Each structure stands twice: as structure tokens, then as C-alpha cells.
């Protein structure tokens, strides 16, 4: 894709959607070239001496070249495959190395949904610079957004906003997966998840499963929660709830039969458990 940048107008409908784009662009900055280009309007252009603060979020994907970043957390070097996440009201400055230049792909966006998503701990201020490497899914999402912005057809903001959420999802997934890459614990978690799914009708002691795989439970529980978002016990209970819903809605089995099939000692215990997790009784769901 050729170099371009485009600043976008937004209407009430776009802003009320909850996430909207303000700018998108791609730039191949050659070595020994001043940065940023003076073509950018006030509010986006900045000098290295003063830096800048934006009124929006920006995610800049550096796919080639080297550079440097400085913000409230300190200084850091930028290399190919780096994501720069800039937040509203946060002072910062970055630039490519004059020896190498760089290739940048960037989007600027805001909105209530954007602020809610970027408030998640996995996307905290401490994660303003991520060395994620070359990811086809990342750059493909950028290019899809660029195509929409360049065409600017009706509804493009709503479609593009979905792609921004998709990009954030990719970033979060990458963050989670890097904790497990090349580690034996991932294989153990997958094995135990399979065991739990295959034995959802029993009452399994997850601690014993960890011990059988020669892993301390506290470490296993910590890594399992990082991998799935919930504890092993909660994961197993959620499987039981999903199976109970399926049986209630797709079979003629009595609630008593379902409770025993899922390993509960009594229908009363099952009913209390189900209502606590779902918010209403098994009988009410079936009706």
C-alpha cells in the first residue's frame, strides 16, 4: 500500500456508536528525513523538543526500521515489529532513527467503548510499547481499515470500529499467549481442559489432576487463570452450567436426571447451584 494519511470527520451517529476513527495512515520515512512531516495539522504535528499530548488513542505499528520513544514512563528503543499505544492526555514523543528511518502504520480513535477497552489491565499504561514482531493478522487489519478510510463509503466508520476492536483483541491474545510460548505448562493446561470437558458428568478434584501432572496446584491455578481468564474450578463449573443448559433445552430428561448426570448428589443441590450461577432455576429456563 502506498503512503497516505487521512483525517476524518465524525458525526453524532459515529460518536454515539462508541468507537470512531479520527485518522489513519501509512508512511515510509526515509533515513535522514525530518519527522514528523510538516503536512500534519496542528494537534498532530510536534517537535522533538516539546513532544505532544493527543486527545485520542493511537496505535502505531512499526514494521521496518528503528527509533526511540519517550513518555511519562521513561525512554525505550523501537525496533521492527513494535506497537506504540498512545493515550489521550499523556505526554510523549517518538521518532525514527536518522540512520534507518522506519515504516509506520497508524490509526487514531476515541469513544466510550474505546476508553472502556483501553482501561483493561492487559492494555494498561505500562503496555504503551509492545515488541510483538511481524504478525500478518495485525497488518492485515490495518490494511482493511485503510481501505475503508480511503473509500469513505456510508457506514465505513462502524465497520472500521469493529476492525479496531479486532486489532485490540489480537493484541490482547498476543499478550496472553507470550506467557506460554514454548512452555510445558501450556500442554498441561490443554490436557487438563480436555479431561474436564470429557468428564463434565463427574466431580473431579482439579488439585489431583495437577499433582498427576507433577505440577504444584498454586502455580497451575495461576497459569490456568492467565490462560483461560478463570480459575480451574470455575472453568469446570462453567462447563457443567453449559452442559446443564444444553440438556434442559434439547432433551426431555427430568431435572433430577440431569442433576445426577452432571454428578450432583441431589436435585436440590443442583438447583441451588444452577440458580446461583445463572440467576434463575432450571425449571424456569426450561419454561
Q: Indicate whether 165 and 223 sit together in one domain.
A: no
User: Which CATH number goes with the domain that contains 224?
Assistant: 1.10.10.60
In this predicted structure, what is the pLDDT of residue 100?
96
Q: Which of 121, 154, 178 is the last residue of a domain?
A: 178
Q: Indicate whether 143 and 212 sit together in one domain.
A: no
Whether the full predicted model's pTM is greater than 0.75, yes or no, is no
Q: Indicate whether 132 and 40 sit together in one domain.
A: yes
In this predicted structure, what is the pLDDT of residue 19?
97
Q: Which of 178, 199, 216 is the last residue of a domain?
A: 178
Q: Indicate whether 73 and 148 sit together in one domain.
A: yes
> How many domains in the chain?
2
In this predicted structure, what is the pLDDT of residue 176?
81
Q: Indicate whether 122 and 195 sit together in one domain.
A: no
Quote the cell numbers at residue 233: 474450578
In this predicted structure, what is the pLDDT of residue 122?
81
Q: Is 229 exposed, middle or buried (0-12, 13-18, 19+ CB in 10 A)?
A: exposed
Q: Is 193 exposed, middle or buried (0-12, 13-18, 19+ CB in 10 A)?
A: middle
Asked if 72 and 90 count as a contact pair (C-beta separation under 8 A), the reply is yes
Q: Indicate whether 50 and 158 sit together in one domain.
A: yes
126: helix, coil or strand? helix
Instruction: Collect the ranges in the chain with pLDDT lower than 70.
Output: 182
Q: Indicate whether 216 and 91 sit together in one domain.
A: no
Q: Indicate whether 70 and 206 sit together in one domain.
A: no
Q: Indicate whether 64 and 140 sit together in one domain.
A: yes
Indicate the DSSP class of residue 250. H
In this predicted structure, what is the pLDDT of residue 126?
77
Strand 82-86 and strand 129-131: pairing?
A: antiparallel
Residue with cell 489491565: 121
Q: Indicate whether 215 and 240 sit together in one domain.
A: yes
Cα–Cα distance measured from residue 230 to residue 150, given in angstroms and rounded to the nearest whole number: 41
Q: Indicate whether 8 and 142 sit together in one domain.
A: yes
Q: Which of 178, 208, 236 is the last residue of a domain?
A: 178
Cα–Cα distance measured from residue 23 to residue 21, given in angstroms and rounded to the nearest whole number: 6
In this predicted structure, what is the pLDDT of residue 77?
95
Range of the domain at 282: 184-286
Beta-bridge mates of residue 52: 92
Amino acid at each position: 500500500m502506498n503512503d497516505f494519511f487521512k483525517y476524518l470527520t465524525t458525526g453524532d451517529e459515529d460518536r454515539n456508536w462508541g468507537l470512531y476513527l479520527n485518522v489513519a495512515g501509512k508512511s515510509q520515512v526515509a533515513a535522514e528525513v525530518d519527522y514528523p512531516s510538516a503536512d500534519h495539522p496542528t494537534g498532530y504535528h510536534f517537535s522533538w523538543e516539546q513532544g505532544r499530548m493527543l486527545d485520542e488513542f493511537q496505535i502505531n505499528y512499526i514494521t521496518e526500521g528503528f527509533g526511540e520513544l519517550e513518555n511519562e514512563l521513561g525512554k525505550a528503543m523501537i525496533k521492527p515489529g513494535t506497537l506504540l499505544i498512545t493515550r489521550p492526555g499523556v505526554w510523549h514523543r517518538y521518532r525514527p532513527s536518522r540512520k534507518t528511518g522506519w515504516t509506520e502504520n497508524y490509526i487514531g480513535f476515541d469513544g466510550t467503548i474505546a476508553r472502556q477497552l483501553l482501561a483493561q489491565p492487559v492494555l494498561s499504561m505500562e503496555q504503551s510499547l509492545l515488541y510483538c514482531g511481524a504478525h500478518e493478522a495485525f497488518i492485515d487489519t490495518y490494511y482493511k481499515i485503510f481501505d475503508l478510510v480511503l473509500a469513505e463509503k456510508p457506514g465505513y466508520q462502524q465497520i472500521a470500529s469493529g476492525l479496531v476492536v479486532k486489532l485490540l483483541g489480537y493484541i490482547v491474545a498476543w499478550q496472553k499467549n507470550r506467557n506460554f510460548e514454548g512452555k510445558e505448562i501450556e500442554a498441561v493446561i490443554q490436557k487438563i481442559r480436555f479431561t474436564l470437558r470429557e468428564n463434565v458428568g463427574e466431580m473431579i478434584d482439579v488439585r489431583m489432576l495437577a499433582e498427576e501432572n507433577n505440577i504444584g496446584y498454586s502455580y497451575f491455578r495461576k497459569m490456568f487463570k492467565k490462560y483461560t481468564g478463570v480459575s480451574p474450578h470455575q472453568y469446570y463449573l462453567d462447563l457443567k452450567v453449559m452442559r446443564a443448559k444444553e440438556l434442559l433445552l434439547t432433551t426431555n430428561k427430568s431435572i433430577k436426571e440431569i442433576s445426577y448426570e452432571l454428578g450432583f448428589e441431589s436435585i436440590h443441590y443442583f438447583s441451588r447451584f444452577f440458580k446461583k450461577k445463572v440467576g434463575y432455576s432450571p425449571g424456569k429456563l426450561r419454561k
